[in-house]
Amino acid sequence: MKRMQRPDWLRPHWARVLLIALASLLPVQAVHASAVVPLNHIVAVVNDEVITRQELDKRYNETVRSLTRQNTQLPPRDVLQKQLLERMITELALQQHARSTGIRVDPAQVERAIQRIAEQNKIDVPTMQAALEKEGQSLDSMRTTIRNEILITRARERDVDNRVTVSDAEIEGYLQTQAQQGAETEYNFAHILLAVPENASPEQVQAQRARADDIHAQLEKGADFAQLSASSSDAPNAMQGGAFGWRASGKMPALFVDALKPLQPGHISPVLKSSNGFHILKLIDKRGLDATLNVTQTHARHILIKTNELTSESDARNRLLQLKERLDNGAKFEELARQYSDDGSASKGGDLGWVNPGDTVPEFEKAMNALKVGEISQPVQSPFGLHLIQVLGRRDQDVTQERQKLQARQAIRERKAEEAFQDWVRQIRDSAYVELRPID
């Protein structure tokens, strides 16, 4: 079961929820509301749903806690509210699109996400719930946030990621380019985006260009990049200071690579123009990227039962337990895989071939690595469903050429998926009926 790449603005989606929802667990100064509580009126209409002032205030307070925790200077309240409202509108439009096209989220998956978040913070769920309630939040609200994140992620996987293809010619061209450039470079950078609507008028384009030039001038004078990202950027990671983290050059748009290549750490790129709008990049650091040549490969096969609105996690687990019992009593793995597996490998008896480290999602790889040769696992949960895994063999292998092609394919796929994702988000946002109303 090969790894499916995740979008940057949702990567990992539960980790982003973790930062926002659990910011209140840290000892930062609480945000005090005004003594006069405003009425909970509607601030935006998105198709047939609304966003209320109370929802906007909640997001604002969560964001303030997160930015305070990061020691980021806060933008003016009205500027930050405007940014957050636009983000909420886009998120709601994406959720509506996912629901209208039949995507549903199993409550059990949400509960597993809650459990993982608690484990990552080294607390149990009741402790986390008590901490959230102490700050005026709730576990139910957190569940809603996670459910919405999963909705968007599944819609992206179906509408964008699953439609991205990479040809052998693209891989060869990528490898030739890398050979000419020498060792690939990784960049740690931050990003500000001023989005331009798909059918923008020349006046709209010029207005965004002027905003970009103004922001660039402020940065050249020493303005804080993270603060301007929070107050001005339309990118999904705006509230995280626009940080992308480390990215290999092959996994970035050529526009970004060409702009970052001549920069020294701490320097700002010129204003860049793409089909999505105007960009400003800040280089934080860069380093060479050395490929791993020798790895331990695992020959594995599996049976996958996907979970969806018709097959719950409990149903899938019970079906696999029944298959496991048959295997323990002498049934042939390959025959059951051909008959029952929902994976594309079913026609090959579930055989995945020789798998390199990192080729599968972490949950699958962890369970696979814990098995002895010939051993069959208990049902294993992954983002794709539940699996029975059998290890057929292990070997140490020099995978230089194979790995280079695999990395090239992944890099091209990730780059194309990211570009397609940004277009997809913009199209859904532009096609939504949106009515803005006064916030105050």
Complete domains list, the chain, with CATH: 8-162 (1.10.4030.10), 182-291+421-432 (3.10.50.40), 294-398 (3.10.50.40)
Residue 117 sits at φ, ψ, to 5 deg, of -60, -45
Can you tell me the mean pLDDT for 120-144? Answer: 86
How would residue 197 be classed by pLDDT, with cut points 50, 70 and 90?
Answer: confident
Element of type H or E holding 365: helix 362-369
Which among 399, 360, 395 has a CA at the least distance from the CA of 377? 360
Token output for 47: 């198709």
- Residue 400 CA to residue 291 CA, distance in Å, equals 8
Token output for 222: 């020493």
* 161-175, 302-316, 403-417: least confidently modelled range: 403-417
- Residue 364 CA to residue 249 CA, distance in Å, equals 28
pLDDT number for residue 120: 80
- pLDDT tens readout for residues 318-361: 999 999 999 999 999 999 999 999 999 999 999 999 998 878 88
Residue 300 pairs in a beta bridge with 353, 391
Can you tell me the mean pLDDT for 112-120? Answer: 86
- pLDDT tens readout for residues 219-254: 999 999 999 999 999 988 888 889 988 888 888 888
Instruction: Output the average pLDDT for the chain.
Output: 84
How many residues are there in the chain? 440
* 115-129, 177-191, 388-402: least confidently modelled range: 177-191
Classify 137 as helix, strand or coil.
coil
Q: Is the pLDDT confidence value at 149 over 50?
A: yes
How would residue 440 be classed by pLDDT, with cut points 50, 70 and 90?
Answer: confident
For the sheet with 185-195, list strands across it.
243-248, 185-195, 277-288, 272-274
* 208 CB-contact burial (10 Å; exposed 0-12 / middle 13-18 / buried 19+): buried
* 235 CB-contact burial (10 Å; exposed 0-12 / middle 13-18 / buried 19+): buried
* 108 CB-contact burial (10 Å; exposed 0-12 / middle 13-18 / buried 19+): middle
Can you tell me the mean pLDDT for 411-429? Answer: 90
Element of type H or E holding 295: strand 294-305
User: Number of C-alpha atoms within 13 angstroms, CB side, residue 21?
Assistant: 26
* 23-37, 218-232, 258-272: least confidently modelled range: 23-37
Per the rule left: phi > 0, alpha: psi between -120 and 50, beta: everything else, 61 is alpha
* 8-17, 106-115, 164-173: least confidently modelled range: 8-17
How would residue 293 be classed by pLDDT, with cut points 50, 70 and 90?
Answer: low
- Residue 297 CA to residue 423 CA, distance in Å, equals 37
Residue 76 sits at φ, ψ, to 5 deg, of -55, 145
Percentage helix, strand, coil for the chain under 3-state DSSP, each rounded to 5: 50, 20, 30
- pLDDT tens readout for residues 47-85: 999 999 999 998 998 899 888 888 888 889 999 999 999
> Read out DSSP for 168-196?
HHHHHHHHHHHHHH-S-EEEEEEEEEEE-
